[in-house]
Structure 1
C-alpha cells in the first residue's frame, strides 16, 4: 500500500520590507516614540513638499522629491537607532558579547562558541584580527581577570609573538560597556598583515577549551542571542 507524501514547504523568501519590518519592531521595543518621530517626518517633510508644490506650481515634482526625502530620513533614523536598541535589549544577557562580535565580521575571525565557559557562567570570547588576539570576558571583574590571564598564557605558548589584548565587558569600574566593545577593538593598533591573521587562527585552533563542567542553563553552541529574537521573530 503506497503512502502519499506531501512535499516539504519551502521557506518563504525574505524581501527587503520584511527586514525593515523586523528592524522597526526591534527598535520600537526600546524607543517607543519611533512611530511618532516617523509620523512627524512624514507630516513636516512630505506635507511641506505638497504645500510647496501647490503654491509654486510644481505639484508633481516637489511632492515626489518630498516623498523620496521622507523615505530617506525615516531609513536614516531607523539605522541610527538600530545598534543602540540591540545593545540595550541584549545587555546583561549571556552571549551579549558574541552578538556584538558577530557584527564585526570584516577583518576579524570570531568563533561561534566561547573560548572559555565556567560553572559560574563567566565567558571569555576570542577574536583574531590585524591587532592580534582580543580576549573579551563576560562576568564580574574579580572572577574573569583570572580567566583572561589563564587564556592569555595558553595562547602565548602557541603564538608568543602575537599581541594579546584583554577586554572586560560589564558595568563595573574598569570594564567596557557593551556599546563600546566594538570601538575598543578598533582602537588597537594593527600589527599583523592580512595573510598572518588566518595563520594565527589555524595555530590557535589546536587549543582545546579548558576542562570545566558546562553550567546548567548555558549551551556553548547556542550562547549567542537568537537573531530571530533580536529582530522580533522569536
Structure 2
C-alpha cells in the first residue's frame, strides 16, 4: 500500500495568535503587564458600568467602556513591544542582526555577518540609499580595528560610495540597541534606488576574513536565528 505522502499544511495564524505572542514576549520583561491590564479593565470598564447605571445608558456605556479598555491595552502592548524585545536580546551575539531584520524597508540586509571572530565579535554590512553601513558587535578595543579593515575592503570595490561606521554596545562612543534604527535613519541619502542593488552585487565579491576564526567554522554559514532571538 502506498504511503501517505501528503504534507500537513501549517495552521493559519490568526490575529489573536500574534497578540498572544506579543503579550508573552512583553510579559517576560514586564512581569506586571497582567496586573496593568487588569487595572485598566477595572477602572475603564467598571467606570463605564457605573456611568451607564447613573445615566440610564446601561447597555451602550458598558459596551463602549469594554472597547475602550481593549484599545488602551492594545496601545500599551504596542508601546512596550520594542523595548521588551531589545531588553531580551541586548548583549547577546547576533542582537544587531535581529534588529536589522526589522529594518528591511529601503535596506539590503543579510542574515550573514560580514566578519566573525573567535571571540564572537561581529561586523554587519547594510546597504541602502545612505551608502554602506558597517555595524559592529563587541568591545570597542577589538571591533575598532575590525571596522576599519572592513571599511578598507568595501572602499576598494566601491570607492565613491559613502561608508558609515557604527559600534553597537554600551561603552563610550557606542550606540545602544534601541537607538540603532534611529541612527540608520539619520544618514542622508546619497544613492539612487537603482544604485543600491548594484552596490550590493559589487560587494558580494568580498570574501570574509578567515583569520582568527576557529577551524571548521565557515563564516559564510554563520547565521543568526531571528526566531530564537525573539523567543
Q: Tell me the TM-score normalized by structure 1.
A: 0.91
Contact 1:119 1:212 in 2 (8 A): no
Matches within 5 A, 1:1-234: 2=1, 4-5=3-4, 7-212=6-211, 214-215=213-214, 221=221, 223-227=223-227, 230-231=230-231
**TM-score for both structures, normalised by structure 2:** 0.92
Q: 1:212: how far off?
A: 3.7
Q: In the comparison of the two structures, how many residue pairs are matched? A: 230
Task: Give CA-to-partner distance per residue, 1:37-56, whole Å, 9 cap, x none.
Answer: 11111111111112111211
CA distance in 2, matches of 1:59, 1:225: 51
Structure 1, unmatched stretches of 5+, are none
Give the RMSD, CA atoms, in angstroms: 2.0
- Cα distance in 1 for partners of 2:17, 2:55 equals 38
Matched residues in 1 for 2:213 and 2:19: separation?
A: 37
The answer (yes or no) to whether the contact 1:121–1:215 under 8 Å persists in 2 is: no
Contact 1:132 1:165 in 2 (8 A): yes
Distance 1:219 1:59 in 2: 67
CA distance in 2, matches of 1:39, 1:103: 31
* Secondary structure of 2:124's aligned partner: strand
- Report how far residue 224 of structure 1 moved: 2.2
Residues 85 and 53 (structure 1), Cα distance of their counterparts in 2 relative to 1, 3 Å cut: same
Pick closer, same or farther for the CA change 1:4–1:201 going to 2, 3 Å: closer
Structure 1 residues 106-115 or 195-204, which shifts more?
195-204
* Alpha-carbon separation, structure 1, partners of 2:16 and 2:222: 28
List alignment gaps of at least 5 residues for structure 2. none
Give every structure 1 segment of 4 or more consecutive aligned residues whose post-TM-superposition deviation is greater than 2 Å.
2-10, 211-226
Displacement of 1:185? 1.1
Inter-partner Cα distance in structure 1 for 2:117 and 2:85? 26
Residue by residue, what CA displacement relative to the aligned partner does 1:89-127 show, whole Å, maximum 9, x if unpaired? 111111000000000011111011101111221100011
Instruction: Measure the CA separation in 2 of the matches of 1:149 and 1:171.
Output: 20
Relative to structure 1, the CA distance from residue 67 to residue 107 in structure 2 (aligned partners, 3 Å threshold; closer, same or farther) is same
Q: Tell me the distance in 1 between the aligned counterparts of 2:39 and 2:162.
A: 50
SS in 1 for 2:123: strand
Give the SS at the match of 1:194. Answer: coil
Query: Which one has more relative contact order, counting CA pairs under 8 Å at least 6 apart?
Result: 1
CA distance in 1, matches of 2:168, 2:134: 10
